[in-house]
Structure 1
């Protein structure tokens, strides 16, 4: 068979390309932004390196720990040293990395930080703006892809916890150019027409590029302006988006969002039953106490024989009146006796009572009592006050 008619197998063709690439290029340094990073449990790290116009796949065998140590993540700018090779099974050429060094955040990550700082400065992320999520939402508005795993996970958890829950879905692309407009439109739709108690914007995990629509300003402003509480459940627990900061509540995953905002109906029923039992027990106890008091009243003399009760009380009043009259008479008698005794004491102390025994009181012309003979020299006119009446006398002399 002529050489030009030789038919090559795919394996042979890929082998030739590997030999050409391996033999013609030396190890080199390549700079680019990390994307689609996977740190595999085998210890290898898989990624793409890209710039504004192109990208190349890369593998760092045994480099997963090194990437984690250097905090390499999607969006990081790195310089990778390695050799170009061909991956035979897929016919793809890739960079086999031997070492790398980070250069800092990539363009997307810088955009993320700049927008986050600007919106935070405006107050869009302030806690004072956050609205509480209802404890038992009657209707939930879901903004997500109708074909994604996030929808399946959310519905599965939500309906298992509360089977009668009403969930309205606004279908929206969650990655790719322009997806942010649909996500924002979904939030606005539920605010205008949805009549829901809470809105959930959600999607599953992915690369920084995949999650980027949730980092767009239009989505953040739609969430912040929502009068209905918004829950952001984007990606995995380690993923953070601008939507997370603008939302009233962040959930780590779509399933986590369902567990956070949808109560367990069975547990609620148990709680209600327990409360009902306690309330009925309290009512029964109150009833028994009231019944006991009523029975006591009914069995009393006042209700069984009311006329006897009135007569008995009337007799008690008569007795009280009699006792009061006796007490009043005794009080008057005691007061009269004390008055007479006091009168006798006053009378015995009166200076005129001594006159009854034959004594006299002598007064001078001015009516002043004379107590000393020197006060009445001979010839002095005096008045002698007797027990009955008075005498006009003249002093004739003085005796010792």
Structure 2
């Protein structure tokens, strides 16, 4: 029954919430069609929270389901999937919100297609086809660029015009293929193999304009993905627009948001490069000027030194040192010569004092018999014996007339030697 209220007798909010809960519960379980806009799965909860959005109108509603139901879906439920849900609506009075509790979920149409693509993506990712370490860098300025696109397409026009405008000397080899439908995958794969065989091609661009998920489905084909993975030449994916994410974007070495973005990535901008060259040249000039100024300052500092201002000062100092050393050498040599002369004189005087001739000069004589033996005693000498007398300046020959024997005189007492003392 309708609830009657007035300004004089308003209904409490709890009554309104209770009436709403009753009306919503009266609806019972219903089948709802929509698109999954958001999935929030919490590890600590057995409930999966989702947002279900109408496929046409801007209407969305919260939806929950058990983790067992969510994990049992095959293919897995992903964001963007279109689904049929058997759910029971419920009203949460505390917050005043309405949510759906799903009892069964079925994926239909595009949602089922997206789910299959997600499953394929997970399998290929598990094989490592999308690994970041496999991505190859693009060349700075390729000799030739391979372009795989549809004939007379806007994507071809965007790539060629933007690339030529950025770098007029860019050279392209364009191969036209079907970019949707059943013939797309074999034609694109064959074109990729043909460009791979060309040694001049250093980068390959696969370009297509925007389209629906069904139109872009060939660029998520497993055969094409594996062919791009095995290619030795870097591949740029330029499929659709920014929101479109075919699997080709994941396996390609570079993912371009649009064909125009791909053209900007594969060739540099000549105007920017010319500006960079000019800036580099100016930096080189500035660095060279700085280096020259520094070296000139160093030369000026060297010139200002006394040794460089008048080099003769150093020579004069060295000349004074040489004169002092020469005088010292002369004095030293003269002193050593004087000492040597004194030593010679002393040794000569000592030799003269020890010479027998000096003894003869003092009036002594050496007496020898006729045989030339020196006579030191009168023993054995008879009267009338012939003798010779050696004096300082000559020799005298004489004959003895008489021989007189004298008493012997005692000699000086001998000083005991060191050996006797030791004994």
Partner of 1:189: 194
Tell me, yes or no, if the aligned pair for 1:75 and 1:208 is still in contact at 8 Å. Answer: no
Task: Classify 1:125/1:145 alpha carbon distance in 2 versus 1 (closer, same or farther; 3 Å).
Answer: same
Task: For 1:242-257, list aligned pairs within 5 A.
Answer: 242-257=247-262
Partner of 2:343: none
Task: For 1:244-393, list aligned pairs within 5 A.
Answer: 244-291=249-296, 293=298, 308=312, 311-312=315-316, 314-315=318-319, 317-318=321-322, 321=325
- Structure 1 runs of 4+ aligned residues shifted over 6 Å read 30-34, 67-75, 295-306, 322-325
Tell me, yes or no, if the aligned pair for 1:74 and 1:207 is still in contact at 8 Å. Answer: no
Partner of 1:104: 107
- Aligned equivalents of 1:324, 1:205: Cα separation in 2: 104
Structure 1 residue 76 corresponds to structure 2 residue 82: yes
> Aligned-pair distance for 1:302?
7.2
> Aligned-pair distance for 1:145?
1.1
Residue of structure 2 aligned with 1:221, choices 220, 226, 238 = 226
State the TM-score, normalized to the length of structure 2.
Answer: 0.50
State the TM-score, normalized to the length of structure 1.
Answer: 0.53
- Aligned equivalents of 2:235, 2:82: Cα separation in 1: 30
Structure 1 residue 147 corresponds to structure 2 residue 140: no
Mark the runs of 5 or more structure 2 residues left unpaired by the alignment.
1-30, 36-53, 64-76, 86-103, 333-423
Mark the runs of 5 or more structure 1 residues left unpaired by the alignment.
1-29, 35-60, 80-100, 329-400
Task: Classify 1:33/1:126 alpha carbon distance in 2 versus 1 (closer, same or farther; 3 Å).
Answer: same
Tell me, yes or no, if the aligned pair for 1:72 and 1:102 is still in contact at 8 Å. Answer: no
Tell me, yes or no, if the aligned pair for 1:232 and 1:249 is still in contact at 8 Å. Answer: yes
Tell me, yes or no, if the aligned pair for 1:145 and 1:172 is still in contact at 8 Å. Answer: yes
**Of Structure 1 and Structure 2, which has the larger fraction of its residues in helix?**
1
Tell me, yes or no, if the aligned pair for 1:141 and 1:194 is still in contact at 8 Å. Answer: no
Residue of structure 2 aligned with 1:178, choices 183, 198, 221 = 183
- Aligned equivalents of 1:319, 1:102: Cα separation in 2: 115
Partner of 2:138: 133
**Secondary structure at the residue paired with 2:161?**
helix
Tell me, yes or no, if the aligned pair for 2:240 and 2:257 is still in contact at 8 Å. Answer: yes
